[in-house]
Structure 1
Amino acid sequence: MTLPSAWGATSQAGKVPAPVVWPHKLAVPGGVARLSLGPAAARPLAFTGDVPLLVVGDAIEWTALVGIPLAAAPGAASITVTIDGDAPQAIGYQVASKSYREQRLTVAPRTVDLSPEDEARYERERVHLTAVMATFTERGTEADLHLQVPVPGRRSSSFGLRRVFNGQARNPHSGMDIAAATGTPVRAPIAGRVIDTGDYFFNGNTVWLDHGGGFLTMYCHLSAIDVKTGDEVNTGERFCAVGATGRVTGPHLHWGVMLNRTMVDPALFIDA
């Protein structure tokens, strides 16, 4: 009998394999920690600092999903959880170390050494996008966060790369780049609501989708945007197209995945 691809390999003959859980847990900078909160009648409230976390599951077992920042130091970390109205308690976990490769790119000098006008534009956009990234809406308790890849193509740049533009070090790469021709349709990897669209200095034409519970996705460098803020999109529905706007070296989709205001590796949410 052939098992569905959503099931892992059987380690011992005759045993039913456990289903694959999405996203995969990988407690490293840029990864996702999955922390069991145990049983409770109602969904627990969980926070990292003052930022709410996505909690999924049911009364038998709840799980907190924690996006770990790329800048996180290896070692002990913790979240705060309130269960069934009891006093808050701390739940600890360990962040392991991870090394990311370096990538050197040559781009237009004006996108590295910003003019005063471009610096002012970037600062206005940063303030706006900080508010977008703080979006936290209700989400159902379903635990499956398995995503479809939004566009076919070769991964031209992976998450976490230490990036050097024109010889100058910048922030690590916070998404997955997928090379594709300008105009290639981009399809929603999971159902969501459009919470922002715009033309940004670094990211070019961009769309943000909200999937609930602080689980957001971002699509950058687009040639076309087919939706507006407030629109609902279904899994597999086209809502924008690949382009080469913003700071780019060629047409591609920059795809970002966010949990608790933290960009995490999209590879943890998709099939290998």
Structure 2
Amino acid sequence: MRLVLLLLTLCLALPAQAEGFITRLLNQPVPGGVAVLDLGSAASAPSATYQDKPVLVIHEDATRWIAIVGIPLTVAPGPQRIAVQTGDGTQSLSFQVARKHYVEQRITLKNKQQVNPNAANLKRIERELAEQIRAYRTFSPRQPSNLLLDKPVNGPLSSPFGLRRFFNGEERNPHSGLDFAATRGTPIKAPAAGKVILLGDYFFNGKTVFVDHGQGLISMFCHLSQIDVTLGDELPRGGMLGKVGATGRATGPHLHWNISLNDARVDPAIFIGAFQP
């Protein structure tokens, strides 16, 4: 009888033991979240796509591959699928997206152009948006140096990801990143090693830096007072890239940090162990 109970206990414990650290850290399959999917064992890395975009694939342990999938905020709760390509062909792998409620944020801006831009500013915004979308869609073969990311600044979290935002009473796009309260001039460090792929001074984002960490994992930092890197720079983990400011559409000094996976903006709190279900 004792042997039976011991075997039953071991069997019940197996799923928890089989789930690796990265899965436990990142698997938050909600709109604006991340799904971690087991791709099995293979001699070489399989490839995967979600919504026709390539997905980050890494080793969870010595034998098992996993796909780390960014889920756009626009995805409705329910079943989703990725396509997985191996030496044996292509197969479909399903996962379930759960519900998540995001609260509202109401902001008053003195500069009316930052709420309802004129025709000239709209052209500028469209041009800048296209440039940034190209950067978000970068997919380099490099492996990310780490997936438990460092906070880019030492400061409390202020505005969370996913807020439904109303500027002067008018609803605009949800908050696509995580804000840190920090004083002007606070140094900003790279949360993982990466390459600087875009710099700009944009209408909404102000002074901005994009860093490619590898395989579609992209960081964007904006509202900077100062940029301390140049295009093409290779940053080590913890490398300084600029300083906190309030440029662009900002009511005061803070850092806005975006994380993008397979061209989906996802909650950076997931990657620093601060996600709130």
Distance in 1 (CA, whole Å) between partners of 2:129 and 2:26 is 30
Return the offset for 1:21.
2.3
Aligned counterpart, 2:194:
192
Aligned length: 257
Is 1:134 the counterpart of 2:137? The answer is yes
- Determine which structure has more spread, i.e. the larger CA radius of gyration: 2
Aligned counterpart, 2:67:
64
**Aligned residue type for 1:72:** V
- After TM superposition, the structure 1 = structure 2 runs for residues 49-198 of structure 1, keeping only pairs within 5 Å, are 49-57=51-59, 60-83=63-86, 85-107=87-109, 108-140=111-143, 144-198=146-200
CA 118–259 in structure 1, closer or farther in 2 if over 3 Å, else same: same
Distance in 2 (CA, whole Å) between partners of 1:17 and 1:127 is 42
Give percent identity, aligned residues only: 51
- After TM superposition, the structure 1 = structure 2 runs for residues 208-223 of structure 1, keeping only pairs within 5 Å, are 208-223=210-225
Return the offset for 1:217.
0.3
Distance in 1 (CA, whole Å) between partners of 2:251 and 2:62 is 49
Unpaired segments of 5 or more residues in structure 2? 1-12
TM-score by length of 1: 0.90
Return the offset for 1:244.
0.3
Q: Is the 8 A contact 1:41 1:59 kept in 2?
A: no
More helix by percentage: 2
Please give the per-residue CA displacement for 1:161-192, whole angstroms capped at 9, x wherever unaligned: 11011100011101000011111100111111
Distance in 1 (CA, whole Å) between partners of 2:207 and 2:196 is 14
Is 1:231 the counterpart of 2:233? The answer is yes
SS of match in other structure, 1:121: helix
**Aligned residue type for 1:135:** T
Distance in 2 (CA, whole Å) between partners of 1:17 and 1:42 is 20
SS of match in other structure, 1:130: helix
Stretch of structure 1 that moved more, 226-235 or 53-62: 53-62
Return the offset for 1:49.
2.4
Aligned counterpart, 1:258:
260
TM-score by length of 2: 0.89
Stretch of structure 1 that moved more, 246-255 or 147-156: 147-156
**Aligned residue type for 1:35:** L
